[in-house]
Structure 1
Amino acid sequence: MQQDALILELQNGNERAFERIYHLYSESTYGIIYSIIRDEKIAEEVLQDVFLKIWDKAPSYNSDKGRFFTWILNIARNASIDKIRSKDFKNDQQNLKTDNFVDILEAKTNFSEAVDAIGLKKYIDALKPVCKKLIDYLFFKGYTQKETSEELDMPLGTVKTRNRICIDKLRAMVIK
C-alpha cells in the first residue's frame, strides 16, 4: 500500500493501517523517545502514548504542513519532553542508580546515533558546528531555548535566531 493511501486509511480509522504505521515507524520513534528520556521502561510507555495520540489525532494530519514522519516525530518529541518535565518523572530521577550515571556520560555521543536513526545524519553533518549543537540540545536532548542559552552561554535571542536559521538551512537541504 502506498504511503498516502495508508495515511488516508489511518485517518478513516482503519485498524490495519494503524498496525502498518506502527510497524513502519515504531522503532525509529522509540529511538527518538529513548534519546530524550534515557529509560527503557518509561520510553516504551511514552511510545505507546505516542501511538495512541497518532490514532486519535490522525484526522488532523495535513500533508501540506509537513511530512507524516515529521508529524510523528513532533508528537514523540513533545510527549517525551512532557514526560521528563512531569512531577512523577522528576521524583523518580531523584534517586538515580549508579548505572544511570554511566548512561548519562555515554549519552554525550548519542547525538549522531539519534540523527542516524531518523536518516538525518548526512544533512546534519553539512551544518556548521553551532547548528549541530543547537539542534542537539533543542531537538534531541529536549532542552528549552532558555536552557540551551544557559548551557551554551549564549544570549537567548541569539539562540532563537540561530535556531531559526539552522532549521531553515536544514529544511532547504532536506527538501532539495
Structure 2
Amino acid sequence: MTQEQLIPLLVNKDERAFTAMYDMYSKSLYAVIANLIKDSDEAEDVLQETFVKIWKNIDSYNDSKGRFYTWILNIARNTAIDKLRSKGYNNSKKNLDVDNFVYMVGDNSRMNSRIDTIGIKDFIKKLKPKCIQLLELLFFQGYTQQEASEELEIPIGTVKTQNRTCINDLRTYLNVS
C-alpha cells in the first residue's frame, strides 16, 4: 500500500489502514522515540500512544502544510517529549538504581545506530557546527527552544531564527540526495 492509498483509508477509519500504517512507519517512529526515551518498554508505550493519536487526529492532517511522514514524525517526537515532561514519568525516574546508570552509559552506541537507521545523522553532519549543536538539543535531546536558549546562552529569537535556517539547510540536503 502506498502513502497516497493509505491516507484516505485512515480518514475513513479503515482498520486495514491502521495495520498498514504501523507496518510502514513503526520502525522509524520508534527510532525517534527511543532516542528520547531510553527505556524500551516506555518507548514502546509512547509508540503505541503515537499511533492512537495519529488515528484519532488524521482529520487534522493537511497535505498542503507538509508531508504525511513529517506530520507523524512530529506527533511521535511531541508525544515522547510530553512523556519526558510528565510528572509521573519524572517521579518514576527519581530513584534510579546503579543498573540504570550502566544501561544509560552503555546505550549511547545503540542510540547512535538508531539515528543512523533513519539516515538523519549523515545529513546533519553536513550542516554548520552551530546547526549541529542546535538540532542536537532541540530534536535529539528534546529541549524546548527556551531551554536551548538558556543552554547555549543566546537569545530565544536567535534560537528560533537559527533553527529555521538550519532546518532549511537540512531540507536542501535532503532534496539534493
TM-score (norm: length of structure 1): 0.89
Aligned runs of 1:1-176 on 2, under 5 Å? 1-106=1-106, 112-176=112-176
| Secondary structure of 2:69 counterpart | helix
* Counterpart Cα distance in 2 of 1:157 and 1:106: 36
Q: Structure 1 residue 110: deviation in Å? A: 6.5
Q: Deviations over 1:23-42 (max 9, x none)?
A: 11111111111111111111
| Secondary structure of 2:92 counterpart | helix
Residue identity matched to 1:169: D
Q: Structure 1 residue 129: deviation in Å? A: 1.6
- Bigger mean CA offset, 18-27 vs 3-12: 3-12
Residue identity matched to 1:173: Y
Residue identity matched to 2:161: T
TM-score (norm: length of structure 2): 0.89
| Secondary structure of 1:143 counterpart | coil
> Structure 2: 5+ residue runs without aligned partners?
none
> Structure 1: 5+ residue runs without aligned partners?
none
Change (3 A) 1:121 1:131: same
CA contact (8 A) 2:84 2:90 kept: yes
Q: Deviations over 1:107-162 (max 9, x none)?
A: 66677434323232332121112111111110111111222223333333332221
Change (3 A) 1:108 1:138: farther
CA contact (8 A) 2:35 2:115 kept: no
Change (3 A) 1:168 1:70: same
RMSD over aligned CA atoms reads 2.0
| Secondary structure of 2:153 counterpart | coil
Change (3 A) 1:111 1:145: farther
* Counterpart Cα distance in 2 of 1:26 and 1:173: 25
Structure 1's consecutive aligned runs of 4 or more residues displaced over 6 angstroms after TM superposition are: none
CA contact (8 A) 1:50 1:76 kept: yes
Residue identity matched to 2:133: K
Change (3 A) 1:175 1:107: same
Q: Number of paired residues?
A: 176
